[in-house]
Structure 1
Amino acid sequence: MSTGREFVGPYRMYHLIRAGALFEIWAVRPVADNTQFAMKWLPPGDRHAKSAAAELKHEFHVGKQLEHKAIIETHDFGTSRKDGTWLIMELFKTPNLKQQIQAGIENLHWRLEEVLDLAADALDSMHDSGWVHRDIKPDNYLVSDDNDVRLIDFNLAMKIPKGLGKLFSSKTPVQGTYSYMAPEQIRGKLCDERTDVYSFGVMVYEMMSGKMPFTATSPAELLQKHLGTKPPDLTMLQKNIQPEFAQLVHRMLAKDPGDRPENLKQFRRELKAGRCFHIKPKKPDPEAADKDNLNQE
């Protein structure tokens, strides 16, 4: 973590939200007013590689083209020798979906359909803007207690090839998060909307069951399972799931992109036409949970 610094460019830093290997996330305010923003900051010094700075600039370029209520707002970008490189975004302080899954999927299930609809709509809007995200995972969705959703992190986003671009697209870099990567992404092949549909399906599988469709003892084994192994049947892991919804999730996880739903619009249509659960889960009672914890102590 960087210390002893009060300003980066025209922004005052007042709260460190998270520190990673390369980037730090800060709550900041412009010097000129009290509006709060989030800053993704690449500090000057040893960590300030040109490639990392270019990633931030790319994320700014993509984010400025996206407009949707469930996509994080992108505001500003800057770089200097003294202050490093920074990206200014909407401040949306809430746990990401991964943290909420780890806290207990029962806390999500009562509102799952609303959250999934907003999350899918945001990603579909990104596709309509011409971009494939390529790193869809619960870590990259922020969800508030009021079911406000924000899709974040456009670092790996690529333009969706259209027309002749599909014929002349070169091999793409193998990038992404191994647990959520589509087979064509692993092979470095053309990525389009259906690549994100696969990753979104992995995320839905995890949200429904609390388990990943594939686990392994090594990265190579995990990637091989994405390429050739059928995931365990969701109806065996989540007894309350509607069979039609389980089938939809498994179609999203098809190895061949042509066997998946064509886009997130199709997912949303099928989601709205049916339901996720046989019996709609009730909102957990925090007071009851506290009593249970006391009884166990």
Structure 2
Amino acid sequence: MAAPAAPQHLTYLGAALFPGTPATRLRGGGNASGILAEWQNDVRWRAEGAMALETGARLGGYSVTGLLGTGGMGEVYRARDERLGRDVAIKVIAQALASETKELLRFEREARALAALSHPNILGIFDFGEHDGVHFAVMELLDGTTLRERLNGGALPWRTAVAIASAAARGVAAAHARGIVHRDLKPENIFLLADGGVKVLDFGLARRDPAPGAPVQPEEETLIGTAVYMAPEQILRKPADARTDVFALGVVLFEMLAGRGPFTRSTVGETIGAVLTEDPPALTPTGGAAPPALERIVRRCLAKDPEERLQSAYDLVFALGELTALPPGPARTSAWPLRVAIFLAGALVGAGAAALFLLSR
């Protein structure tokens, strides 16, 4: 008997781990037409070889109890950690992809690279391994919904949007402190917990930020991502750094405030052109008048030149905290104390066993 479907609030987690829209690689030159051709013609992610584990199936010390979701790289199950007596989410890579060295290495590299991260705004990974030919990652089980699902109901009040952006930026800043750039921040990869917490998901496209002066490996600049949230340097296949994630956070914040993306157009080609050449439109937040400084912050995030942006996710957290008198401290979207300086004590992450591991689009 196949694993039963999960309740809706948990299927959101499965959808977040395995989003349905295909991801594509960009290997063309710097011109928009070449990039678009690569984008349209090199779709790689697919659900071939999905294995549909049975209820009660065991992966090491874990027992499958339900299906959370499926996607291009495999499936996500709810499972029971028999050793520690807790419920977890298990991501299983599709067998067809497990036979491809590059995809399997990516699956493993993400888990290993992020295993040192432990932060309340990043989804944690508990375990990673292989059992009878099945490659899997074990993650914390979340209760809530993605920001994308929330935005399907329209724009958010500006204070709510700022609180979510601040929490997400704290998680991203923690990754940056470990030299990790996310490169695929978008509403699908931001999870809103039922208890008010915020988690950044899906570090599947993450890479380590090279040390200053270190050569950039060509394969690291083979890009996968989502056009409307990409910074210009990503589209042009230039090296990505922390400021690339700041741009994406700016796009997400704009969308939360306005109910639409600043560069969203009817086709991928038009979207790419807008990201590269057009200024964002005037921001008109819903849910009450927003401080004029909020639009200035968003526009700084969306500067085409990385040198003109806020230079780090920490900078964004501080700017938003000063704007609202809400300090960047706890990992909640409400009820923050009133001192921004608390952030320095709580935001830096130590080495830990938990880490984020999510599937990219």
Aligned residue among 60, 64, 71 for 1:20: 71
Q: Is the 8 A contact 1:62 1:154 kept in 2?
A: no
> Deviation of residue 33 (structure 1)?
4.7
| Unaligned residue ranges in structure 1 (runs of 5+) | 277-282, 284-297
Which one-letter code corresponds to 1:129 in the other structure? Answer: R
**Alignment partner, residue 44 of structure 2:** none
Runs of 4 or more above 6 Å deviation: 236-239
- Corresponding residue SS for 2:149: helix
- TM alignment of 1:156-175, pairs within 5 A: 156-165=205-214, 168-171=215-218, 172-175=221-224
> Deviation of residue 34 (structure 1)?
2.7
**Alignment partner, residue 38 of structure 1:** 89
Answering whether residue 179 of structure 2 is matched by residue 98 of structure 1, we say: no
- TM alignment of 1:180-219, pairs within 5 A: 180-219=229-268
**Alignment partner, residue 199 of structure 2:** 150
**Alignment partner, residue 269 of structure 1:** 318
Query: Once the two structures are superposed, what CA deviation does each residue of 1:231-262 show, in whole Å capped at 9, x if it has no partner?
Result: 11113888723211111101101111001000
Between 61-70 and 46-55, the greater mean CA deviation after superposition: 46-55
Answering whether residue 120 of structure 2 is matched by residue 73 of structure 1, we say: no
Q: Is the 8 A contact 1:76 1:88 kept in 2?
A: yes
**Alignment partner, residue 289 of structure 1:** none
**Alpha-carbon spacing, 1:18–1:120, altered in 2? closer, same or farther (3 Å):** same
Q: Is the 8 A contact 1:114 1:147 kept in 2?
A: no
**Alpha-carbon spacing, 1:227–1:40, altered in 2? closer, same or farther (3 Å):** same
In the alignment, the residues of structure 2 paired with residue 31 and residue 203 of structure 1 have an alpha-carbon distance, to the nearest angstrom, of 39
Q: Is the 8 A contact 2:121 2:171 kept in 1?
A: yes
In the alignment, the residues of structure 2 paired with residue 103 and residue 236 of structure 1 have an alpha-carbon distance, to the nearest angstrom, of 15
Q: Is the 8 A contact 2:158 2:286 kept in 1?
A: no
Which one-letter code corresponds to 2:146 in the other structure? Answer: N
Identical counterparts, % of pairs:
28
Between 6-15 and 233-242, the greater mean CA deviation after superposition: 233-242
In the alignment, the residues of structure 2 paired with residue 121 and residue 2 of structure 1 have an alpha-carbon distance, to the nearest angstrom, of 36
Give the total of aligned pairs: 272
Give the CA RMSD over aligned residues. Answer: 2.2
Q: Is the 8 A contact 2:97 2:104 kept in 1?
A: no
- Corresponding residue SS for 1:164: coil
**Alignment partner, residue 241 of structure 1:** 290
| Unaligned residue ranges in structure 2 (runs of 5+) | 1-49, 326-333, 335-361
In the alignment, the residues of structure 2 paired with residue 236 and residue 267 of structure 1 have an alpha-carbon distance, to the nearest angstrom, of 18
- TM alignment of 1:92-131, pairs within 5 A: 92-106=142-156, 109=158, 111-131=160-180
- Corresponding residue SS for 1:274: helix
In the alignment, the residues of structure 2 paired with residue 85 and residue 156 of structure 1 have an alpha-carbon distance, to the nearest angstrom, of 18
Aligned residue among 139, 144, 149 for 1:89: 139
**Alignment partner, residue 222 of structure 1:** 271
**Alignment partner, residue 342 of structure 2:** none
Q: Is the 8 A contact 1:209 1:238 kept in 2?
A: no
In the alignment, the residues of structure 1 paired with residue 205 and residue 189 of structure 2 have an alpha-carbon distance, to the nearest angstrom, of 12
In the alignment, the residues of structure 1 paired with residue 278 and residue 247 of structure 2 have an alpha-carbon distance, to the nearest angstrom, of 14
Query: Once the two structures are superposed, what CA deviation does each residue of 1:44-79 show, in whole Å capped at 9, x if it has no partner?
Result: 3x3534233222212211221211111111111112
TM-score, normalising length: structure 2: 0.70
Aligned residue among 56, 61, 71 for 2:107: 56
In the alignment, the residues of structure 2 paired with residue 4 and residue 184 of structure 1 have an alpha-carbon distance, to the nearest angstrom, of 41
Query: Once the two structures are superposed, what CA deviation does each residue of 1:66-97 show, in whole Å capped at 9, x if it has no partner?
Result: 111111111111124x4421111111122111
- Corresponding residue SS for 1:103: coil
Q: Is the 8 A contact 1:8 1:83 kept in 2?
A: no
TM-score, normalising length: structure 1: 0.84
